[in-house]
Amino acid sequence: MKRTIWQDLLKRRVPHVVGIYLGISWGLLEFVGFLVNQYGLSPHLVTFSLVTLVSLIPSVSIMAYFHGAPGRQGWTKVEKVTVPFNLLASFVLLALIFSGKDLGAATTTVTVTDEDGVAVDRVIPKSEFRKRITVFFFDAPRGDSAAAWLQYGLPHAIAEDLSQDHWIDFRYVPLFAERVREAGFPSLTGVPLALQREIADEQHRDQFLAGEVTVEDGEIQATVTLYDARRGRALNEHTVTGPDVMELADQITVQLKADLEVPELGGEAGQDLPVAETMTESPEAYRAFVEGVRAMWVDQDFEAAVPHFTQATALDPTFATAQFALGQVLYLSNRGEEAVAPFQAAMDHLYRIPERARFGIKSDYYFIVRQDMDKALASVVMWADLFPDDLGAYAARVQIQTLRNDRPGIIASLEKILELDPAQKDVLLEIGTIHQAMGNLVSAQEAFRSYADEFPEDHEVLTRLAGVSRLRGDLDEALGHYDRAQLLAPSDVGVTVGMGNVLRTMGDFDRAMEQYDAAMSMAGTPEERAEVHGALESFYRNRGQMGKMIEHLEQRMAETALSQPGLFATLIRLRQMPGPYIDAGREADALAVVERARTELPPPFDAFLPIGNLGIQLAKEDADGVEATLPAMEAMIDAFQNENVRPWFVHAEGRIHELRGEYRAAIERYEEEQRLNPADINVPAHLGRCYRGLEEYDRAVALFQESLNSAPWAPRVNYELALTYVAMGRAEDARRHLERALEVWVEADEGYEPAVKAQEALGGLGG
């Protein structure tokens, strides 16, 4: 029977027709693949063609059966039913499989504007078709000192080579270094495969690249493996050998692109120069550069990186990547004047930098060297336009928008980051925090609640919700959030400090100090110790114990210097130390902070010096002195577009008017300050003092009460409210608030002026 059927099929030439059809189909698939690669069409077209051709095999077979025999045959009922049914089934199948998939061009044309305002059209891959991959540092055998630097050097060269290709969206270890450190791998190497897969999956990568490198008799051998990020299954593995790390990186990336089936795209987007051309042809310069990278990213020691980058640039002055890195570490190490030359050298040799990396270099150059914020931002915008999946572009945009105090813009950029990488869960917290700073407490709470719904076991969101509760004046709810956060993370320093802060705000000073003591015993890093010292500094300032306040202020600054680059540490000291020193009666120390900053901040960063002078004059309540600092402050804000300090500048204008008794003018400036910084609970108290000066007592009382709603035990606000009640003749109300202020100041330093005045006011009431 089987022979008879087979003979019948042969007689009707069914195998012949089907074979010819399969051969033609194979040719068509090859041709479609050629068109996809040659003209940047959707890769889905190949699969679409395959499914179409395979799904039509039943119709081809049936038609061959009824029309393949010699002689003429007409259409049968079977054909009239099965062929249309097959065509309909094929259509339904294709609709189900490819619904929502882009079957057109894999590229799109965008119009971008460079930093000089010149608009150009560029062809870039659509986000859907970019290859998403994470690149980890490699492993090396223990004791193989010759391979130790190559653990970082070879994957860095691979990442540099991949950055030339617009089709590839890659994540590289420095972008998620903290995630690896938190998992217990401070060297950022030796990461287990399971953790690598988890990190890549969190980043919504399709694949990740890992490897091992060894050196024997001067010959480098590297085995690299491409893994599936969902399953952790090895997809391809290749071993390359040779003496030159750059050539090996080129070999690996060529093979990697083939494994990823990266299309070829002409022009800038398809550039694939040898990596030595985009970095350096000097092996010695490259090794020195990698040692600097290790010092900067692994050891987090910027000063230690300087000599390595200096050596790399001396060996090859055209090594633009190393010049830029040298400029960065000098700038962050408070050596801004020295940073200008390497930044300029990086710009001079920008041709050696892949296009993707040029935008960050240009942005930093315009910001740091030229102080041209418009061009800096334009470079970042163009970066995001050409590489819409590049998180670095949006992170850079957030930095500039933060400097400009562009909060709506920050939220838009953060939302784009979250869209690109939903695994970046902290972004949702930052969005909520910005809404909170804008006074949009409902939006802030919605963002935090969305995060909490997705990550119910994450204690961090509870601390953010507590912050919203405090601003709403619901301190019991805030305390409840911290209680739950402590159950989830009993050893978290930030949670414990936050609990202490709420208790202090509620007037429970003994329990607050217990929390601070516990936090200090748990603090294991400079950042954590600085956080605890900051809380204790505020605690003692609030209670009028200025000597202890200064003690913790100085300890906080010492810890900050251990965890921040020199430039940032100097700016933090300049902004935060002079005022408290004046309040503590130590004017010489306040002036010394400014003078120290004068020696540490070379041009153009000496433009920030008025920040320290303004802090001194505000603390001295010297209206003329404050006014004298404002022109330099305005010049600094304009030069750096540093709108972050604008609310403080406006506050200073208001304070000048208030000290001179010009209360209407002061109110106008304080209201502007409130518009710029609506979450600042101190502004209502400033307004309240002015309305009291105008004898508009009811309005003043309402404003002081608004401030006390979030901080009922704030002693200065209680004192100011009491003075208002005295002026209104409401002695008992005044007595109640004076007693509360004095209860806070019960252990204040002897002669602490606000406490002395409060005691005198209470005495005037017969207390």
Model pLDDT, residue 247: 94
Using CA atoms, how far apart are residues 9 and 11, in angstroms rounded to an integer? 5
Using CB atoms within 10 Å of the CB of residue 118, give its burial: 0 to 12 exposed, 13 to 18 middle, 19+ buried.
Answer: exposed
User: Measured in whole angstroms, how far is the alpha carbon of residue 648 from the centre of its chain?
Assistant: 25
Can you tell me whether residue 265 is helix, strand or coil? coil
pLDDT at 75 over 80: no
Is 165 in the same domain as 260?
Answer: yes
pLDDT band at 104 (very low <50, low <70, confident <90, very high): low
Among 115-124, 159-168, 451-460, 644-653, the least confident range: 115-124
Using CB atoms within 10 Å of the CB of residue 364, give its burial: 0 to 12 exposed, 13 to 18 middle, 19+ buried.
Answer: buried
Strand partners, 216: 219
> Mean pLDDT, to the nearest integer, of 231-245?
92
Strand partners, 122: 110
Can you tell me whether residue 175 is helix, strand or coil? helix
pLDDT digits (tens, 9 = 90+) for 118-141: 666 666 666 666 788 999 999 998
> Mean pLDDT, to the nearest integer, of 473-487?
93
> Which has the closest alpha carbon to 606: 643, 648, 636?
636
- C-beta of residue 470 within 8 angstroms of C-beta of residue 502: yes
Is 139 in the same domain as 21?
Answer: no
Is 83 in the same domain as 148?
Answer: no
Residue 208 lies inside a defined structural domain of this protein: yes
pLDDT digits (tens, 9 = 90+) for 493-543: 999 999 999 999 999 999 999 999 999 999 988 888 999 999 999 999 999
Is 145 in the same domain as 82?
Answer: no
Q: End-to-end alpha-carbon separation of the chain, Å?
A: 118
- C-beta of residue 720 within 8 angstroms of C-beta of residue 689: yes
**Structure token digits, residue 333:** 């190490």
Is 173 in the same domain as 253?
Answer: yes
Using CB atoms within 10 Å of the CB of residue 253, give its burial: 0 to 12 exposed, 13 to 18 middle, 19+ buried.
Answer: buried
Using CA atoms, how far apart are residues 36 and 545, in angstroms rounded to an integer? 74
- C-beta of residue 28 within 8 angstroms of C-beta of residue 53: yes
Say which DSSP state 105 is in.
Answer: B
Strand partners, 710: none
Is 45 in the same domain as 168?
Answer: no
Residue 111: enclosing H or E segment and its boundaries?
strand 107-113
Is 142 in the same domain as 209?
Answer: yes
- Give start and end residues of each alpha helix (H) in 387-474: 391-403, 407-420, 426-437, 441-454, 460-472
Domain count, the chain: 2
Strands (E), 114-259: 119-125, 131-135, 168-172, 207-216, 219-228, 234-242
Could you tell me whether strands 131-135 and 207-216 are parallel, antiparallel, or unpaired per DSSP bridges? parallel
Is 135 in the same domain as 263?
Answer: yes
Using CB atoms within 10 Å of the CB of residue 210, give its burial: 0 to 12 exposed, 13 to 18 middle, 19+ buried.
Answer: buried
pLDDT digits (tens, 9 = 90+) for 715-760: 999 999 999 999 999 999 999 999 999 999 999 999 999 999 999 9
Which amino acid type is present at position 681? I
Is 151 in the same domain as 242?
Answer: yes
Using CA atoms, how far apart are residues 570 and 567, in angstroms rounded to an integer? 5
pLDDT digits (tens, 9 = 90+) for 199-233: 888 777 889 999 999 998 889 999 999 999 988 89
Can you tell me whether residue 427 is helix, strand or coil? helix
Residue 311 lies inside a defined structural domain of this protein: no
pLDDT band at 73 (very low <50, low <70, confident <90, very high): low
The CATH number for 233's domain is 3.40.50.10070
- With pLDDT > 90 as the criterion, what percentage of the chain qualifies? 49
- C-beta of residue 762 within 8 angstroms of C-beta of residue 551: no
Domain boundary among 222, 253, 272: 272
pLDDT band at 116 (very low <50, low <70, confident <90, very high): low
Model pLDDT, residue 180: 86
Q: What is the mean pLDDT of the chain?
A: 86
Residue 348 lies inside a defined structural domain of this protein: no
Is 138 in the same domain as 228?
Answer: yes
- Give exposure, 415-437, as e/b (b: 16+ Cβ within 10 Å): ebbbebbebbbebbbbbbbbbbb
- C-beta of residue 549 within 8 angstroms of C-beta of residue 584: yes
Among 332-336, 359-363, 689-693, the least confident range: 332-336
**Structure pTM?**
0.71
pLDDT at 1 over 50: no
pLDDT at 59 over 50: yes
Is 173 in the same domain as 268?
Answer: yes
Residue 82 lies inside a defined structural domain of this protein: yes
Is 28 in the same domain as 140?
Answer: no
- Give start and end residues of each alpha helix (H) in 241-299: 245-260, 275-278, 283-293
Query: What domain range is 24 assigned to?
Result: 2-98
Residue 20 lies inside a defined structural domain of this protein: yes
Among 96-110, 376-390, 542-556, the least confident range: 96-110
Domain boundary among 98, 113, 148: 98
- With pLDDT > 70 as the criterion, what percentage of the chain qualifies? 90
Model pLDDT, residue 271: 62
Among 336-340, 419-423, 464-468, the least confident range: 419-423
Could you tell me whether strands 234-242 and 219-228 are parallel, antiparallel, or unpaired per DSSP bridges? antiparallel
Residue 23 lies inside a defined structural domain of this protein: yes
Domain boundary among 272, 295, 330: 272
